[in-house]
Structure 1
Amino acid sequence: MRYYRIDQLRFTLAIMIVALHGGFLKDTSPDLAYFINNGLFRIAVPIFFIISGFFYFSMNHQKKIKWSKKLATIYMTWSVIYSYFWFDFSHPISVRNFLYVINGYHHLWFVPALLYSAFFVVFINKFRVNKFVTIFLLFSMGFILQHAVFNDYIDIDNVNG
C-alpha cells in the first residue's frame, strides 16, 4: 500500500536535509540561514524517524527481522566503505574505533539509531515495560548524551586508547 502524502512529505524532508547540509542561504543572508537551517530544517530527521516507526509498527514479526537484517547489511557495507576515513589503523582495538562502529561515522549515525530504536520497540513490547517510564528513560539518556557531547565531556574525534 502506498501512502502518497507520506511520500510527498519524505520528498520535502529530503530537500530540507540537502539544503541543511548545503548551507542554504549561508552566503546571502547568514541570519535567515541560521534560523532556517538550525530551526525549520532540523525537524526533518525526527520526522523521518517517526515515519520509519509508523512503517515498522505495521510490519509483522518476519518482516521486522528481514528489515533489521537489510538495514544492518546496509550499515555494515557503508561502514566498511567509510572505514578508510575513520578507522585508526595504528590502534585497531581502541575506544574511538569502537564508538564509531556502534554509533556510525558522521552521517551514518541514522542507520544504527534506527536499529537501536527498533530493538527498544521490540524490548518494550515483549516485556511490557511501562511506556511512560521508557519514554522518560530514553529522553533522559538522549539528553545526557547530547549534553555531554556538546559540552565536550565526550569528544568522539579525540578519544584515545
Structure 2
Amino acid sequence: MKPKARNAGIDYFRLIAAFLVVAVHTSPLTSVDGTADFVLTRVVARVAVPFFFMVSGFFLLPGYMNGQDTGPGKLCKFLQKTAMLYGITILLYLPINWYAGYFRMQLLLPNLIKDIIFDGTFYHLWYFPAAITGATLVCLLLEKFKSGHVVLITLILYLIGLLGDSYYGITEQISFLKSFYDVIFLFCDYTRNGLFFAPAFFMLGGIIAGQSHPYPAKECWLGLSVSLALMLAEGLCLHGFDLQRHDSMYFMLLPCMFFLFQSLLLWKGQGNKSLRDISVIIYLIHPFMIVLIRGFAKVIKLQEILVGNSVIHYLAVAVCSAIAAIVITVALERKGQGEWL
C-alpha cells in the first residue's frame, strides 16, 4: 500500500502529538497528582517526537530502501525545508533568548555551536537538528549497507543513547562507561539527538512504509496495549529508583511506536494538509504562548489560576497555540504560502 493511500490516521495523530508536546512543557497534572503527571508527560507523551521522526522516515526512506533513484531528491527537499523552519524559529525566539540572558553565558561561541548542531537554541528546537542529522545519517547508511544492517546500526546507536538517558543511573556506576558518556556530554547535553535517538525511528518508519499490507487490527491493538503497559512499568520503575538522567528513551518505546504507527495506518483515507500545518505551527509557537500567558497572568494578577493551576495553564497554552496556528495557517493558505510548511 502506498503511503499516500493511508495518510488520514497519520495526519490526525500529528495534531494529538503536537498537544502531547505542549503537555510535556507545561506538566498539566502537576497540581493534581505528581505520579499521574509523570505518567502522562514523561512516559505516554514521549511517543510524540518519535512519531514525527517515523512520519518523516515513512515518506522519505522508501526511495532509498527499494533501489529507486528518488531518495536523494527527497532528502535534499526534506533538509531544505527542515533547515528553513529551524532558522525561522531560531529568529522567532531570539528576543526571549536575549531577555533570558542566553547571550551572556560563558563560552558563548562553543555553546552556541553545540546548541545549533545538537541541542537547539530553545528547549523544543532540538527536534530540528535531530531530524536533519538523523535523516542524513540513515540515508547515507542505506547507500552503503543493506536495510537489515542499517536497522542493526540504528538499534546499537539507540542503545548507546538509552544508556545516557533513562538508564544513566546504572551507566554512571561503571567507570569506563561514565568516562565514555562524559566525553559525549561535552558535545551535547543529552543523548536524545540526531545521532543516537532519531535514526532508529526514521528507519522504523521506512520499514513500515515498505510493507505491502498493514498489520491486522487485532494484532495492532494487542501489541500497542502490551507494549504501552510495559513502557509505563519501565518508566515508573526507572523513576522510582531514580535512574533517569533524562526521560526521553525507553526500551519499550520502540515496540510501542511500531504498533502505534501500524494502528494509525488502519485509518485509511487521504491526508489533511491543514492539520499538518496546524500541528507544525503548534509545535513551533507553544513555548512563545507559555511566555505570553505567564506575562499576561502577572499583569492581570491571575498567576494563581493561569499558572499555578496546571490544568488551566495547559488548556490556556493549548487553546491559544491552536487559535494562533489556525489563524496563521489560513493566512498562509490565502497567500499561497502554505507549501513552506
The TM-score normalised by the length of structure 2 is: 0.40
Quick one: distance in 1 between partners of 2:137 and 2:107?
Answer: 32
Counterpart code for 2:145: R
Over alpha carbons, which structure has the higher Rg?
2
Aligned partner of 1:25 among 21, 24, 29: 29
Q: How does 1:7-156 map to 2 (within 5 A)?
A: 7-58=11-62, 60=70, 61-83=72-94, 85=97, 86-88=102-104, 91-94=107-110, 96-103=111-118, 104-105=120-121, 106-128=123-145, 130-146=149-165, 147=168, 153=182, 154=185
Give the superposition deviation at 1:87: 3.8
2:109 aligns to what SS in structure 1?
Answer: coil
User: CA distance change for structure 1 residues 88 and 138 in 2, over 3 Å: closer, same or farther?
Assistant: farther
Alpha-carbon separation, structure 2, partners of 1:89 and 1:26: 31
Higher relative contact order (CA 8 A, sep 6+): 2
Q: Quick one: percent identity of the two aligned structures?
A: 24
12-21 or 101-110, which deviates more: 12-21
Question: Counterpart of 2:126 in 1: which secondary structure?
Answer: helix
Report the 3-state secondary structure (helix = DSSP H, G, I; strand = E; otherwise coil) of the residue aligned with 2:125: helix
**Aligned-CA RMSD value:** 3.0
Give the drift of 1:7. Answer: 1.0
Structure 2, unpaired ranges of 5+: 64-69, 173-180, 190-341
- Contact 1:16–1:41, Cα closer than 8 Å, also in 2: yes
- Give distance in 1, aligned partners of 2:57 and 2:39: 28
Deviation at 1:144, TM superposition (A): 4.7
Asked if structure 2 preserves the Cα contact closer than 8 Å seen for 1:71 and 1:115, the reply is yes
Number of paired residues? 155
Supply the distance in 2 between the matched residues of 1:141 and 1:5 (Cα, whole angstroms).
32
CA distance in 2: counterparts of 1:18 and 1:120, whole angstroms: 28
Deviation per CA, 1:119-161, whole angstroms, max 9, x where unpaired? 112111111162244124322442354349x97943768xxxx
Superposition TM-score, scaled by structure 1 size? 0.77
Mean CA deviation greater in 32-41 or 126-135? 126-135
2:10 paired residue among 6, 9, 21? 6
User: Separation in 2 of the partners of 1:38 and 1:14?
Assistant: 15
Judge conservation of contact 2:82–2:132 (CA < 8 Å) in 1: yes
CA offset at residue 93 of structure 1? 3.4
Give the Cα separation in 1 of the matches to 2:104 and 2:62.
Answer: 40
Does the residue aligned with 1:107 lie in a helix, a strand or coil? coil
1:91 is displaced (CA, Å) by 4.3
Query: By how many angstroms is 1:58 displaced?
Result: 4.5
Matched AA of 2:154: I
Q: CA deviation at 1:47?
A: 1.6
